[in-house]
Amino acid sequence: MTRARFFLPAAALLAWGAGGFAASRAYRPHFPPPSEIQVPVKGAAGDMFSLALGTRRLFADLWFIRLMQYYGTREKPLAGEERECAEHPGERHHDHHGLNGEGLYPEFFSRARHILELDPHFASAGLYAAGSLAFNMDRPAEAEALLNFGIKYAPREWKYATLLAAVGYSKAQDPAAVARTITPLITDKDCPVMLKQLAAFLNKKAGDLAAAAVIYADIAATSRDAAYVDNARRELEKLSKKARRP
Amino acid sequence: MRLLRLTWAVAANAFSESVRHRFFTLFFVFAFASVYASVLAGVMAVDQEARVLADFGLALIELTALAYALFNAASVLLKEAETKTIYLVFSRPVPRWAYLAGKLWGALLTAGLMLAVMAAMHLALLALRGFGVPAFYGWALAGAFLKLAVITAIAFFVSLFSTSPVSTIVISGILWTAGHFASEARFMAERVPGVAAPALKGLLWLIPNLQIFNARDAAGAASALPPAAFAAAGAWMLAACLGSLWLLSRKEF
Amino acid sequence: MSARAVSFSGVEKTYRRPGLLGASYNTAVKDLSFEIPAGEVTGLLGLNGAGKTTIMKLLTGLLFPTAGSVRVFGHSPSDAAAKSKVGFLPELPYFPPQVKPGEALAYFGRLSGLSGADLALAVRTAIERTGLEPHAGKRVSEFSKGMLQRLGLAQAILHKPELLVLDEPVSGLDPLAIHDIRGLLAGLNAEGRTIFLSSHSISEVEKLAARVLILVKGSLALTVKRAQWEAAPGGLEAIFVEAVK
């Protein structure tokens, strides 16, 4: 009777141990360790929820939305009147600084890194952030730091290494090499549209208008960002006018 | 064969009770509203809408199914004892293990139905927004189901010795969150000096590592669940069932 | 089949209630020994807290004795062989409110090992015998107390058990329902089934039982046969009152 009484709990403990053993065989760490999760940004402490609920990807998505909103907010307010612009003589428009992504945006890097701390496989976010840092805000060192972090914890993600090479060419003032290097990235359906726009711009600058037109057409057809779509359509209009000129 | 029919009778009864329960219907309404809210989040994400929509929807589906599974598992045995329905069961030649197995089977059928219906709603929303089925979707649902199966079995076990459904839900909820922290806890255990390290590692064996089923989160890396994950789920469920049987076999009504 | 349907031998049941400053113990029945002959109706009388329900639950395997032994048709009450021969009606049985009586009975029938055509026939028969036919289309939530009690009895007789254990079978019923239930029980006994019923209603037990066990504070105070109480001035009530004083 005593033996029977202890059989069930003993069997239960044995089965639990077997489960733990099987789990140790099955487990593959996909994410950075907790020591890598920094809290320099307001609200990041709440990311404990992401770990507790097993929703790192979701919280990385939310942080990406917040990054885009942060970056999409102009640092300087629009001026009330159109004025003569020193950089574009003869033209009158609102202050256009920041319309192409320039600006200080001091929290940009820490917010971007936070996304990859939660989900280093969120390649689109990593490319978007690193591309913005390197090509819009002229902060290649931060772009490289971000991409190196991504490579460390998502070593199979070839796109980080590709963009890292492009940043290197950008630092070397070789736009043609940049355009060539990022070409494999822009054919991916998850490629950030700002990289596509950069590729189109570089191709246009290098004189390859046909390649630029293909990329702008792709942006117009596939992007859901109205600003990029409108810009792509305007550029296509300009390119087709140029092509029609004798 | 007779025992299998008996177990199925308990399972079918448990399943139909769940389906009839008004609370269950409320969860469908909640889940639909939540999944729809994820559409709004998807719009804010612009070109990442497909990803955000998928992640939001899958997370909410899993958490909704978890909430119902815990509520159900925490209260079903207690309710049958309080209403004396259990007298009518155990005064019959129903082995206690068959009753437990049937209740768990019924709970898993319910969880499976909830996941399936909410996933169908979610996929319909994705299709409406012009997106296809994400490559990792099937594994994400499979992983969610395995997590629910393990935690439901554990909740049944806890309900047999806890003092109320609320305490069962709290204890099971703590195990759920601890299960997702298992890898972080292991990382910290390796850095703790002295005798605390093996003690902490030993304690970690008591927590099921639910991260191995988290195909939803690992989607960017590798979402397919290895066979060892299924083995782990089976072993943990068996352990919880054996523990429950040990408690139930000694329980008087 | 054993001549004895039930046998209690030196049975004791002590309840343990854990508390903050240690457990408390309450002995519900002590040194209880009696037998229930097969094919008879045996009544169980006692004041509140005397241990009647404890005895019923010991018989049906819902409680385990602290000491002594209980036998049902020669088997332990926990054995499937015993349980398949027992039909139990607890006090105030509960059924899910949204089901119909046929659905509820089908579930319990399956638990008793019935299936297919046998199950359907058993359900139909139980509904007819307990007078539930006019209410077969209603949900349990629409049932009166009397109808619920009939449904409780229906689930107890579903699998044609050899022993019926009934805890307060006529509690809260109107006189017509009591008359019907009494008729049903008499009919079942006429078929050779053993009936063991507890009740607060001495008159009901008087009408049905061949023997009565009187329980006082967990001990068997008296066993009275029909001939004895019919011969006694004041009947069974007087004997009972004398025993419990």
- Do C122 and C19 share a structural domain? no
Rounded distance between C-alpha atoms, residue C236 and residue C43, angstroms: 11
Q: Which of A86-90, B81-85, C84-88, C228-232 has the lowest mean pLDDT?
A: A86-90
Query: Sheet harboring C211-216: ordered strands across?
Result: C86-89, C163-167, C194-198, C41-46, C211-216, C219-225
Chain C residues whose beta carbon lies within 8 Å of the beta carbon of residue B89: 111
Residues of C in contact with B5 (CB under 8 A): 110, 115
pLDDT at B40 over 70: yes
- Percentage of chain A with pLDDT > 90? 35
Q: Residue C111 in contact with residue C159, Cβ under 8 Å?
A: no
Task: Assess C121–B contact: CB distance below 8 Å, yes or no.
Answer: no
How many independent structural domains does chain C possess?
A: 2
pLDDT (0 to 100) of residue C1: 44
Instruction: Determine whether the interchain pair C57/B253 forms a contact, defined as Cβ–Cβ distance below 8 Å.
Output: yes
Write down the pLDDT at residue B22. Answer: 67
Residue A57 neighbours by CB under 8 Å, 6+ apart: A118, A119, A122, B55, B216, B217, B219, B220
Residues of C43-65 as b/e, b for ≥16 C-beta within 10 angstroms? bbbbeeebbbbbbbbbbbbbbeb
Domain closes at, from C125, C143, C160:
C160
Any CB–CB contact under 8 A between B185 and chain A? no
Tell me, yes or no, if C60 comes closer than 8 A to chain B by beta carbon: yes
**Per-residue pLDDT at A100:** 58
Residue type at position B151: I
- The verdict on C40 and C72 lying in the same domain is yes
DSSP state of A206: T
Q: How many domains does chain A have?
A: 1
CB A191 within 8 A of CB A185: yes
Model pLDDT for residues A152-180, shown as the tens digit of each residue: 999 888 999 999 999 998 888 888 888 88
Express each pLDDT in C104-126 by its tens digit.
999 999 999 999 999 999 999 99
Domain of B87 in residue numbering reads as 2-249
A238 in any annotated domain:
yes
- Nearest by CB to residue B212, choosing from A23, A122, A125, is A23
Tell me whether residue C235 is in a domain. yes
The CATH code of the domain that includes C36 is 3.40.50.300
Nearest to C62 among B20, B83, B87 (CB): B87
ipTM entry:
0.90
Looking at residue A76, its pLDDT comes to: 63
User: B40 CB near a chain A CB, below 8 Å?
Assistant: no
pLDDT of residue B151: 96
Whole-number Cα distances in Å, B227 to A241, B125, B149, C192:
60, 31, 16, 58
A11 found inside a domain: no
Domain of C188, in residue numbers: 4-85+163-244
Residue range(s) defining the domain that contains residue A39 = 33-74+85-244
Contact B208 A121 (CB under 8 A): no
Q: Distance (Å, rounded) from C-alpha A66 to C-alpha C231?
A: 93
Structural domain contains residue A58: yes
Q: Which residues of B touch C (CB under 8 A)?
A: 2, 5-6, 9-10, 13, 17, 20, 83-85, 87-95, 252-253
Looking at CA atoms only, how far is residue A118 from chain B in angstroms?
A: 10
Residue C2 has pLDDT above 60, yes or no: no
Tell me the per-residue pLDDT of B50-85, one tens digit each, with 9 for 90 and over.
888 889 889 988 998 998 899 999 988 888 888 889
Same-domain check for residues C77 and C171: yes
Residue A136 is assigned to a structural domain of this protein = yes
Mean pLDDT (chain C, rounded): 91
Residue C90: inside a domain: no
Q: Point out the least confidently predicted range of A91-100, B201-210, C200-209, C225-234.
A: A91-100
Q: Is the pLDDT of residue A45 over 80?
A: no
Q: How large is the average pLDDT for residues B141-155?
A: 96
- Asked if residue C74 and residue C106 are part of one domain, the reply reads no
pLDDT in tens, A76-123: 655 555 555 555 555 555 444 445 566 788 999 999 999 999 999 999
* Nearest-5° Cα angle at A195, A190 to A198: 155
List the single residue in B180, B229, B246 with the smallest CB-CB distance to A52.
B180
